[in-house]
Structure 1
Amino acid sequence: MTTTDSTSSVRELIRQHYPALTQSERKFANALLDNYPAAGLASITIVASNVGVSSPTVARMVRKLGFKGYPEFHKALLQELKATGVGPTQRRAKWSSEAPETHLLNRFAQAVTENLQQTFAHIETERFDQATSQLADADRCLYIVGGRITQALADYAFTHLQAVRPRVTQMTSSSGTWPHYVLDMEPGETLLIFDIRRYETNLLRLTEMVRKRGVRVVLFTDQWGSPISSLADFTFNCWVEIPSGWDSSVATMMLLETIIAAVQEQRWPEARDRYERLDELFDMTHFFRKFT
């Protein structure tokens, strides 16, 4: 039995191996995904009893995921839980103690490169294309929102997507205004949401509200996965760790730019016409300096 890939979360391992699971093993897997990772943090007998399966069923499933046994599986869940809750001080201490004796520039370049590789390696092209089609559907409104840190990503997404297609709304950073947006949301519309560790409770509550209205959710999160993952129609996990007290947005931004380009191509030539009309309006305002 080989050990698990240390770069994959337990959630990702379940998704990778799900087709090979038996019906009873899938029952436990589904329960864990619905309440992740809490449903797997007790002893094997307790988690099996809570789901209504046998302990041997749980043991077989974790081995199929690549773990030597339940203790190793349990430890992996605990490590993920610990990683999602750390703040800047703890992250800085971790990197300081493990940092190689090389210049910070090199360590950053290596970390960011690995983040990009892991992020794009874990994207399924079919799901990417489906999410792009959802975001490109201009017959339905698209709402965009971010959190305390990720609001900058939401700003960037809005600036570009509202030029590519009509009916795009950026929700304010104040959660007190969100019910006003939800009030007008219709089934089949889309919410593009950004949530990385430490995950924000108000974003989860917002997602719960919009799902009740039949709104489809496209989530950008980190490699561990926001709790919103269990509610989202499309989830993109972006690797974020760097030698810093802060997480990196490089991989998230790269993926976001890729999706913006894909939406543009899917809507071409409508997007081209919008660009041309937008340039005409900018010319009227003399917003940009002309050199010719």
Structure 2
Amino acid sequence: MTTSDDRTVAELIRAAFPDLTRAERQLADAILEDYPISGLGSITALSESSGVSTPTVLRMARKLGFDGFTHFQASLRGELKMMISDPVARREHWTDELPHAHILNRFAEAVSDNLRKTLQRMDVETFDAATALLADPDRAVFVVGGRVTHSLADYFFSLLQVIRDGAHLLPPNANIWPHSVLGMKEGDVLLIFDIRRYERELLSLARMARARGVTIVLMTDQWGSPITTQAAHGFHARIEVPSAWDSTVVLTYLVEALLAGIQALHWDTARRRMNELEGLLDETAMFKKFT
């Protein structure tokens, strides 16, 4: 359960953050640090762990649009249930609510709604800052994904290495990731893909990289991976569709938008590399030529 505008509690907090008092911001940071578990204890426990008063907790809950702390916690519990749901539970959740339209129409409507809501809550400054980091030729860029999202990481890397030097795709075997961290330097960038049923190995990787001064850019869902606390910049894509599996359509859109932005920042270099690559591909006769 969320508020009537369908935003998660985390999204509400991030949107309201500029208007919060100092104490409320302290509370917000504490909630997001271990989201959503941090907000599921008693109001006394939350106030004590965040170092604020119980009236501050109540005041911020109302600022976020909730009737009170009970309503606030009910939303968090509903989110937690969705975050940890397995594919069968996700499919059954949608089955109870699906209209009788064809699956093509239902799926298209859900994807379109996901894209619209993601863009409505997108911070353009965050997008531009992440694009500049990933385009910076003085920074190496490392890319990694999880069990499902590794294909997105692979796709991003495959095109990024055409645009610029210094791009690296981490291997799918998490046991090798510490070896990859050895090659990371302060100022480098690590782009991580992590959506619900968040992976512990990815969080460990983010912590190791950040300890070396690496800047984390995160692609996650509307609830937010635990890696959010390690990331300098985060993108929160909507992923729910009438299926047992989460949709990566919006994440793919963000990947391609980032690549377009990076390409535009250094088009002369990108064009030169693309022309060189075309020459190399011609030598391999990989593609059919219609001449």
Match of 1:246, as an amino acid?
W
Give CA deviations for 1:37-58 in whole Å, capped at 9, x if unaligned: 1221111122112222211111
Query: How far apart, CA to CA, are the structure 2 residues paired with 1:19 and 1:192?
Result: 26
The answer to whether residue 153 in structure 2 is matched with residue 177 in structure 1 is no
Give CA deviations for 1:128-161 in whole Å, capped at 9, x if unaligned: 1000000001211100110110011011001110
Which residue pairs with 2:166 in the alignment? 167
Which residue pairs with 1:271 in the alignment? 270
3-state DSSP of counterpart to 1:214: coil
The 5 Å alignment of 1:119-138 reads: 119-138=118-137
Which residue pairs with 2:231 in the alignment? 232
The 5 Å alignment of 1:30-69 reads: 30-69=29-68
Match of 1:283, as an amino acid?
D
Q: CA deviation at 1:79?
A: 1.1
Query: How far apart, CA to CA, are the structure 2 residues paired with 1:222 and 1:49?
Result: 29
3-state DSSP of counterpart to 1:279: helix
Q: CA deviation at 1:255?
A: 1.2
Query: How far apart, CA to CA, are the structure 2 residues paired with 1:137 and 1:7?
Result: 36
TM-score scaled by structure 2? 0.97
Which residue pairs with 2:152 in the alignment? 153
Query: How far apart, CA to CA, are the structure 2 residues paired with 1:52 and 1:275?
Result: 54
Query: How far apart, CA to CA, are the structure 2 residues paired with 1:6 and 1:222?
Result: 17
Q: CA deviation at 1:179?
A: 0.8
Bigger Cα displacement from structure 2, 140-149 vs 7-16: 7-16
Query: How far apart, CA to CA, are the structure 2 residues paired with 1:130 and 1:180?
Result: 28
3-state DSSP of counterpart to 1:237: strand
Query: How far apart, CA to CA, are the structure 2 residues paired with 1:140 and 1:50?
Result: 38
The 5 Å alignment of 1:74-153 reads: 74-153=73-152
Match of 1:83, as an amino acid?
M
Q: Give yes or no for contact 2:133–2:139 (8 Å, CA) kept in 1.
A: no
Give CA deviations for 1:36-90 in whole Å, capped at 9, x if unaligned: 1122111112211222221111100111111111111111111111111001100
Q: CA deviation at 1:272?
A: 0.4
Which residue pairs with 2:199 in the alignment? 200
Bigger Cα displacement from structure 2, 263-272 vs 10-19: 10-19
Match of 1:213, as an amino acid?
R
TM-score scaled by structure 1? 0.97
3-state DSSP of counterpart to 2:3: coil
5+ residue gaps, structure 1, are: none
- Over the matched positions of the two proteins, sequence identity in percent amounts to 49
Match of 2:64, as an amino acid?
L
3-state DSSP of counterpart to 2:96: helix
Q: CA deviation at 1:23?
A: 1.5
Q: Give yes or no for contact 2:3–2:75 (8 Å, CA) kept in 1.
A: no
Query: How far apart, CA to CA, are the structure 2 residues paired with 1:141 and 1:202?
Result: 21
Bigger Cα displacement from structure 2, 35-44 vs 219-228: 35-44
Give CA deviations for 1:197-223 in whole Å, capped at 9, x if unaligned: 111110000001000000001111111
Q: CA deviation at 1:5?
A: 4.2
Between Structure 1 and Structure 2, how many residues are aligned?
290
5+ residue gaps, structure 2, are: none
3-state DSSP of counterpart to 1:111: helix
Match of 1:69, as an amino acid?
G
Query: How far apart, CA to CA, are the structure 1 residues paired with 2:216 and 2:259?
Result: 16
Q: Give yes or no for contact 2:131–2:262 (8 Å, CA) kept in 1.
A: yes
Query: How far apart, CA to CA, are the structure 2 residues paired with 1:144 and 1:217?
Result: 10
